[in-house]
Structure 1
Amino acid sequence: MKTKKLYYQDPYIQTFTAQIVEQNQDEKGHYVVLDKTAFYPTGGGQPHDTGFLHNVPVVDVEEVEEEVRHYIEETLDVKECTGEINWKRRFDHMQQHAGQHIVTAAFEELFGYKTVSFHLGKEMCAIDLDIPTLTEEEANQVEERANEVILENHPIETRWVKEEELRDLPLRKALAVTENIRLVIIPNFDYNGCGGTHPNSTGQVNAITILHWEKQKKHTRVYFICGNRVRQQLHEKHEVIQHLNSLFSAPQEQLEGAASRVFEQQKSLEKEIAELKNELLQVELEKTIEQSIEWNGHRLVKQIYQQRPMQELQQLAKSITQKSDNVVVFLISETEEKLQVVCTRSEDVPLNMKESMKSILPLINGKGGGSETMAQGGGEKLLSPEALLESMLLKG
């Protein structure tokens, strides 16, 4: 049975009463079909409405074979129910969808750029333009033109037409359907086939702001917001700016310069820290080499560290073998739950570090790899680092 679509008769309907025709279950859950509804189902780039049926939340709305399914989490035990639309969400979608028509038409009017897809997101909207790049000047001109159309407060009309009537209308793009054709029209500006909900005038879109754009394969994806979202974005950005004013002790017009100075200072400090770390590593390197002992005819360096990153272990081990001959290095780092191991040797030592690592990894249920001269691995702390080091020496 077809559901009578009240949202097409009047998109401003917020409450209605309808007869329950069917209650059933599909892969998405329990749903209710009514003889008529003001709930808009997902389609045409516009998300579904939410709200209540008989005070039960409607969490999704889909159209299947001309019946509108309202997904709710419990069965209704009435024959007639009252529906209530989440009007804030619906009107937001109406503003965004009409705004998309205006932005798309402005791109085409000014530059001939075609829109190939539209997405109405929770926080922002996006269209894909059939062009590889977009300039800032072009985006600014489109935004200005779009807001002119809003201020001119053109009517937004909807019309059901037959296919033969289309030849007399300047459609923005060819239609994919030949029956049940619904047009959304901004006279002398945009004529387009659309099944979504829209306000009855461009003035109710309120405002349009293009946020940014990016390359998307062969297209350019343009992100924008309309209506109440513009005001919300302004409030959020103003709060951020006020916080930055306090952090940088600078007014808005000087924030960029203040932030640049902080970043430059950070880069300088990071460079200085790296240099100091390298100096400390060299001191540690000399001290560690001095602590080497005799082992199987070679000099052995063995150390256990706490919370030492694997990258530092590898750097230290590599530096030792570069500065010393006939040396073998076993380093372990212990954390609360894991043990990490690095073993290496100088070129003149005939030992296979990869095999040494493979021999001890089962003791810690670990994984690792490497080469004959240097290997690394890690695993669970199933034994003490001292015991693991002893095993390495015995199997080495």
Structure 2
Amino acid sequence: MLKERLYYIDSYCKTFTTRVVKESLDNMGNWNVVLENTAFYPTGGGQPHDMGLLNGIQVTNVEEIDGEIYHTVAERLDPTGEVEGVIDWGRRFDHMQQHAGQHILTAAFVELFGFPTVSFHLGKELCSIDIDVEDVSAEQLEAAESLANEIVLRNLPIETKWVTETELDQYSLRKNVAVTDEIRLVIIPEYDYNGCGGTHPSSTGQVSAIKILSTEKQKRKVRVYFACGGRVLQQLQRKNYFLAEASQQLSAPEDSVNTAITKLLETNRTLEKALDEAREALLSFEAKDLLLNKERGIVKAVFKGRTVKELQKLARLLVAEADDVIVLLVAETEDRLQFVAARGAAVEMSMKQVSASALLAINGKGGGNDAFVQGGGERTMAGEELMNKMLVSFNLDI
């Protein structure tokens, strides 16, 4: 029965002895064992599995399959005799703090605003809940966090109770339970009643603290990222480290980092604008220089390391400057070729024929219209060779 599993009898159980009742080798070459009883919690309900040791051998995964708990071990266990299990307590207690914190935070959203939680994820660094609402304000987040931490500080008991389906009406459950046989309730008296199969501390005070860190939209829901217990301190240390680094690099006191960043961003925007203007001026000069070297009405050039965006700008400047020219530009990198072909307003020839020829030669993709095309593909040849193929498509050889 579920209620007889050691992690349900005592979530603080760190060591236990048992025997192997079944072993198997999976198709990945991993040994899996089923024990007479176990304190290892299997993955489920948003909570990751426990880790630890069986007879000194590392347990790497724990999962429940058809009512049996399989422990994946780093090497084969001796299937005879007693087995000593040791739970990775740091991992287990962290999960207990996060899961209980989730219950408390979820209940706070429901109690204050009627926002139900529809999913929970306990990650390696952060936890998240998805609340069934399209938007949540900063004031609502602050209020929910404040109420949650008030419940933590009250150090209320966290109780577990096994009930039958007919007994459920006695409790004000936050949501309907998904099981009908052995039903386990996790209860914070007068605050939260919830069907749950996870492990939890015996009181809210052991959660220590709950901190909401950020939110993001998830379709028509809001995902709330948070941390509990020891993870709050870890996040504080991490953020303090980055703040100190930023303070040093900006030569600004920590409480003025935001102002310094704002000034830096303003300066950066000014510089970027000036740089864009300089680039446009250089492209204009480059276009005039290329026009001086046109041959038989064609301006052509092969570049190294230029972006297709630069080629497009240059081509547009050229056909704006001279409406009787055809422009063929190629850019090559270590593994890619890109091209642009354009015509002036006085030219009737379609650029699509040069595009088709070029794309075929480089196994590429592109697009455009009769007046302007661009594309790119594999570097199957040198840039000059691609240029020659583009010229041949016009029956030209310059």
Residue correspondence of structure 1 range 6-45 to structure 2 within 5 A = 6-25=6-25, 30-45=31-46
**Distance change in 2, residues 1:392/1:265 (3 Å):** same
Conserved 8 A contact 1:19-1:81: yes
TM-score (norm 2): 0.91
- Distance, in Å, in 2 between the alignment partners of 1:372 and 1:267 is 37
Q: Which amino acid aligns with 1:70?
A: H
Q: Does the residue aligned with 2:310 lie in a helix, a strand or coil?
A: helix
**Distance change in 2, residues 1:155/1:334 (3 Å):** same
- Distance, in Å, in 1 between the alignment partners of 2:75 and 2:305 is 53
Task: Give the match for residue 5 of structure 2.
Answer: 5
Q: Which amino acid aligns with 2:55?
A: H
Q: Does the residue aligned with 1:36 lie in a helix, a strand or coil?
A: coil
Conserved 8 A contact 2:3-2:162: no
Question: 1:269, CA displacement in angstroms?
Answer: 0.6
Q: Does the residue aligned with 2:19 lie in a helix, a strand or coil?
A: strand
- Distance, in Å, in 1 between the alignment partners of 2:386 and 2:141 is 64
Q: Which amino acid aligns with 1:351?
A: M
Q: Which amino acid aligns with 1:178?
A: T
Question: 1:368, CA displacement in angstroms?
Answer: 3.4
Task: Give the match for residue 92 of structure 1.
Answer: 94
Conserved 8 A contact 1:3-1:68: no
Task: Give the match for residue 176 of structure 2.
Answer: 174
Conserved 8 A contact 1:208-1:230: yes
Question: 1:226, CA displacement in angstroms?
Answer: 0.5
Conserved 8 A contact 1:3-1:37: no
Q: Which amino acid aligns with 1:165?
A: E
Q: Which amino acid aligns with 1:49?
A: D
Conserved 8 A contact 2:212-2:226: yes
Pick aligned residue for 2:119 from 114, 117, 120: 117
The more displaced of 322-331 and 198-207 is: 322-331
**Distance change in 2, residues 1:353/1:171 (3 Å):** closer
- Distance, in Å, in 2 between the alignment partners of 1:367 and 1:114 is 48
Q: Does the residue aligned with 1:37 lie in a helix, a strand or coil?
A: coil
Task: Give the match for residue 147 of structure 2.
Answer: 145
Q: Does the residue aligned with 1:264 lie in a helix, a strand or coil?
A: helix
- Distance, in Å, in 1 between the alignment partners of 2:33 and 2:162 is 28
Task: Give the match for residue 306 of structure 2.
Answer: 308
Residue correspondence of structure 1 range 285-324 to structure 2 within 5 A = 285-293=287-295, 295=296, 299-324=297-322
Q: Which amino acid aligns with 2:190?
A: N
- Distance, in Å, in 2 between the alignment partners of 1:386 and 1:308 is 15
**Residue 253 (1) aligns with residue 262 (2):** no
**Distance change in 2, residues 1:134/1:388 (3 Å):** closer
| Length, aligned pairs only | 392
Structure 2 residues without counterparts, runs of 5 or longer: none
Question: 1:34, CA displacement in angstroms?
Answer: 0.2
- Distance, in Å, in 1 between the alignment partners of 2:319 and 2:42 is 69
Q: Which amino acid aligns with 2:158?
A: I
**Residue 281 (1) aligns with residue 279 (2):** no
**Distance change in 2, residues 1:86/1:281 (3 Å):** same
The more displaced of 278-287 and 64-73 is: 64-73
Conserved 8 A contact 1:3-1:34: no
Question: 1:316, CA displacement in angstroms?
Answer: 1.0
Task: Give the match for residue 323 of structure 2.
Answer: 325
- Distance, in Å, in 1 between the alignment partners of 2:114 and 2:379 is 65
Conserved 8 A contact 2:214-2:226: yes
Question: 1:141, CA displacement in angstroms?
Answer: 1.9
Question: 1:66, CA displacement in angstroms?
Answer: 2.1
The more displaced of 194-203 and 362-371 is: 362-371
Q: Does the residue aligned with 1:341 lie in a helix, a strand or coil?
A: strand
- Distance, in Å, in 2 between the alignment partners of 1:120 and 1:367 is 43
TM-score (norm 1): 0.92
Q: Which amino acid aligns with 2:302?
A: I
Question: 1:27, CA displacement in angstroms?
Answer: 6.5
The more displaced of 90-99 and 243-252 is: 243-252
- Distance, in Å, in 1 between the alignment partners of 2:322 and 2:374 is 20
**Distance change in 2, residues 1:3/1:37 (3 Å):** farther
Q: Does the residue aligned with 1:46 lie in a helix, a strand or coil?
A: coil
The more displaced of 299-308 and 95-104 is: 299-308
Task: Give the match for residue 385 of structure 1.
Answer: 383
| Aligned-pair Cα RMSD in Å | 2.2
Indicate the percent of aligned positions where both proteins have the same amino acid: 49
- Distance, in Å, in 2 between the alignment partners of 1:393 and 1:162 is 82
Question: 1:365, CA displacement in angstroms?
Answer: 4.2
The more displaced of 235-244 and 189-198 is: 189-198
Conserved 8 A contact 1:210-1:223: yes
